[in-house]
Amino acid sequence: MSSWHKTLLISALSLALATTTVYAAPSPGEALAKAAGIPWPAVIAHRGASFDAPESTRASYLLARELGADYLEMDLQRTRDGQLIALHDTNLKRTTDIGQKFPERKDQPVSQFTLAELRTLDAGSWFNQAYPQRARASYAGLKILTLDEIIDIAEQTPQHRPGLYIETKAPQLFPGIEKDLHAKLQQRGWITANGDVASGHHLILQTFERNSLTLLDQYMHKVPKILLLWVGEGGMEPASDKAFDATTGQTKAAYYAQQQPKDHAEFERWIDFAKANGAAGTGPSAALTQGGDQSYMDLVQPWMNKLTHDKGLLVHVYTVDDPVDYKKVMEAGADGIFTNRASELLKFYKRPATRSVAEILKEQGY
Ligand code: G3P
Ligand code: CA
């Protein structure tokens, strides 16, 4: 072979390596996912495609569905009149105009409002103000959605039906919500009478709260469940109990990045709890390269993922939007990613959407 041909061959091999999926295969998680009927690696659209549209709204979930995300992620809460809805924060101040519509009640939790009252709120305009470069006039006036409406969005597609990935958010505020969720999913035909996930449906339940995991397992034993991981209040015991001090100039992300479980045994205790209470996997946080307000503790270190896999559990890491971090967490052994940018993650996984975000939004009337 001539040196010119050798150079050409080396260049071609380098290009092939650079464009091949970068994480190691086969992953032990891949077999676990397959056995549980869970896509691998999973694209979990965090509050929908919430980088490009207001989180947890029709625009966000339609976009995630049309991009081809595996799951629509949502945070489940309950109204005063017992309706199951999707909202992340436990109050309405950040993502609605509650301050204008109900100024005297603006600090009240979601559970104090009826669905009819929540329907009067604008859950889209805050996005236009926060992200003017991604603003769209059609986002103004978007509504808070019920679980029923998100199920409708998942179902009403002739092409790709996404799964649902439902978190019981602050479940201590909503006694009995696990039972309500089971009733709704059964009523909508996502869970059969004998407790299986209905054929052709993908469904995962998630929670940070150990009590809620136990209850979810009680009512929905055969549905895959994920225990979300955290260090500190409500989560694993930290190695250091030093509190965050904004006066030092340290960012919250830098503080979180230093937080670690007390020791290996503490981490293992949580994995064992998850396993013993019916979880199919865990949802660890990630420390992000660029920091930011979704950058938390690095609970996706290779030894942690190996331990989790060795115990037969999957790893779905939250919440990652940057290809640098996609690569990092996948190389560390993750089996799926919660992302606000389903379009980017699909590209990274070499499953790019067939239409752009702008094309889909236009097509869907936004
Ligand atoms: O549910 C996974 C991830 O969403 C957890 O964080 O606060 O966005 O619900 P959060
Ligand atoms: Ca969530």
CATH of the domain at 264: 3.20.20.190
pLDDT band at 83 (very low <50, low <70, confident <90, very high): very high
Residue 332 located in a structural domain: yes
Residue 10 clears pLDDT 50, i.e. is over it = no
Give pTM, 2 decimals: 0.93
Q: Would 8 be classed as within a structural domain?
A: no
Report the atom number in ligand 1 closest to the C-alpha of 165. 1
Q: Which atom of ligand 1 is nearest to the CA of 75?
A: 9
Among protein residues, the one with the nearest Cα to ligand 1's atom 2 is 318
Average pLDDT for 141-152: 98
Class of residue 109 by CB neighbours under 10 A (exposed 0-12, middle 13-18, buried 19+): middle
Domain annotation covers residue 7? no
11-39: pLDDT as tens digits: 444 434 433 455 655 789 999 999 999 99
**Residue 327: is its pLDDT beyond 70?**
yes
Residue 118's domain comprises 26-363
> Please, where are the H alpha helices in the chain?
3-19, 28-36, 58-67, 98-101, 115-119, 125-130, 147-155, 177-187, 210-219, 252-258, 264-276, 302-310, 323-331, 342-348, 357-363
Residues sharing a CB contact under 8 Å with residue 171, sequence separation 6 or more, in sequence order: 177, 178, 207, 209, 211, 212, 215
Residue 4 lies in a domain: no
Residue 128 lies inside a defined structural domain of this protein: yes
Q: Is residue 93 part of a domain?
A: yes
Measured between alpha carbons, how far is 43 from 66 in angstroms, rounded to an integer? 13
DSSP state letter for 133: G
Domain assignment of residue 282, yes or no: yes
* Within a domain: 167: yes
Q: Which amino acid appears at position 182 of this protein?
A: H
- Give the Cα separation of 291 and 300 in Å (integer): 16
Determine the average pLDDT of the residues in 39-67.
98
The Cα 251–Cα 28 span in angstroms is: 35
Residue 255: count of CB within 10 angstroms of its CB = 18
71-78 and 84-86 as β-strands: parallel, antiparallel, unpaired? antiparallel
Mutate to test the pocket of ligand 1, among 90, 319, 320, 321 (most ligand atoms within 8 A of CB): 319
Looking at the 3D structure of the chain, how many domains does it have?
Answer: 1
